[in-house]
Amino acid sequence: MMSTVTGSSAASSALTGARTRSLMVARTSTVTQSCLSRTRRPSGYRPIGTAVGADRRPAGPLILAHRGSARPDRPENTVAAADAALSAGADGVEVDVRASADRKLVCSHDADLFRLAGTPVPVRTRTAAALRSVLLPGGHQLALLEELLSAVAGYGRRRVVVEAKACPDPAAALEVAGALREVLAGFAADLDITVSSFDPVLLGLVRTALADLGIGTALLGSAFEGAANLLRRALDDGHDEIHPNLFSLLRSPNVAETARTLGVGVTCWTVNRARHVARLADLGIDALITDDAAGVRAALRYRPRLSDRAGCSAGSLGNDLAMR
C-alpha cells in the first residue's frame, strides 16, 4: 500500500512538472513572437565585426571607456579623459549627463561636485557657467556635452553612450529630453550615439524626442535586476538596446542570444577582468564598458579560444591576464 501511494504521488508530481514546463515554453514562445512584431533594429546598431587579426581571433565587442580614461589629474567625464581614452585605442566612450539650472547639459556622474572638486556644489541649482568655474584636479573644468562630443567627433565616427541621470520629476525629465535633442541633433550624422538611463520615464521621453534622428535608446539595468527582466522591459518600452550589469548578464547568459535574435543590442558594464572579457566575447555582445580600455584590448586579442578552455573551470579562466 505504501509503495503504491508513493508511486502514485511521484507520477502525479512528474505530470504536474511536465505541465508546468509546457506552459512556460508556450508562454515564452508567445512573448517572443509578440516582441518580434514590434521591435526595430537600432539605427546605430552594427553587428560585432567578423574581421580576424593575425592570431585568427574574432575582433570581438567594441570597447567603450567608462567616463573616459580618468586618473587623479584627469577627472572622469572631462574632455581630457575622453581624449586620453580614444588616443589609447578605445572604440568610444561612455559619459554621464545632468542638466544645470539654465538647462545646459554638463558631463557629471554625481549630483554635486564634492567628490571631484572637494566642494558640495549641486549641479541642478547652478548655471553651467558657475559649474565650469569650479576647477577640477589638474586644472580641468566640467565639460558641456556638446564640447565633449565635438572632441570625440575629431577621431571620426566613434561610439558614444550618453547616460542621462535620473530626474526628480516628469517636468525635469521633459526638459532633459528636449536639451538632449538640441545637442545631439548636431552630432547624429558624425557619431554613433545611444542614450541610456536607469530612469524609464526619462528614457521614454528621450526616445520620443530623438525618434527622427537615428539615435538609439538603451535601458540600463542594475546589478540586482535580472537580465531577462531588463530585456522584457526594454521590449515593452520599445528601446533599441539593453545595458545590463556584468554579473546580471553572467547569471543569465542566454539573454544575450535572445536579445540578438530580437534585434536588441547588448552593451555590458563595467568589465575590467580578462576572464569576464573572454566570457562576454563568447556571448557575442556588441560592446562593453570598462575602466581599462588598453587592458581589455589586450585581453580580447589574447583570450583563449573556446576549445582551449574546454576543460577549464569558470573561476580559472584568464587568471594569467586578470586585471585590477
pLDDT per position as a tens digit, 196-209: 999 999 999 999 99
pLDDT per position as a tens digit, 56-93: 344 789 999 999 999 999 999 999 999 999 999 999 99
Q: Write out the three cell numbers for 264.
A: 536588441
Q: How far apart are CA 206 and CA 194, in angstroms?
A: 11
Q: How far apart are CA 245 and CA 271, in angstroms?
A: 9
Unique residue bearing C-alpha cell 556644489:
121
Percentage of the chain modeled with pLDDT above 70: 76
Q: Is the pLDDT of residue 8 over 50?
A: no
**Range of weakest confidence among 23-27, 98-102, 148-152, 236-240:** 23-27
Q: What pLDDT shows up at residue 302?
A: 87
CA distances from 286 to 56, 201, 202, 270, 314 (A): 19, 25, 24, 14, 22
What is the pTM for the complete model shown? 0.80
Q: Is the pLDDT of residue 142 over 70?
A: yes
Q: What pLDDT shows up at residue 42?
A: 41
Q: What pLDDT shows up at residue 308?
A: 54
Residue bearing the bigger pLDDT, 19 or 142 = 142
CATH numbers and ranges of domains, the chain: 38-321 (3.20.20.190)
304 contacts: CB under 8 Å, gap ≥ 6:
278, 312, 317, 318
Mean of the per-residue pLDDT values of the chain: 83
Unique residue bearing C-alpha cell 581630457:
80
Q: What pLDDT shows up at residue 305?
A: 59
pLDDT per position as a tens digit, 211-229: 999 999 999 999 999 999 9
- Asked if 64 contacts 290 with a C-beta cutoff of 8 angstroms, the reply is yes
Between the CA atoms of 298, 258, 210 and 221, what dihedral angle is there, to the nearest 10 degrees? -70
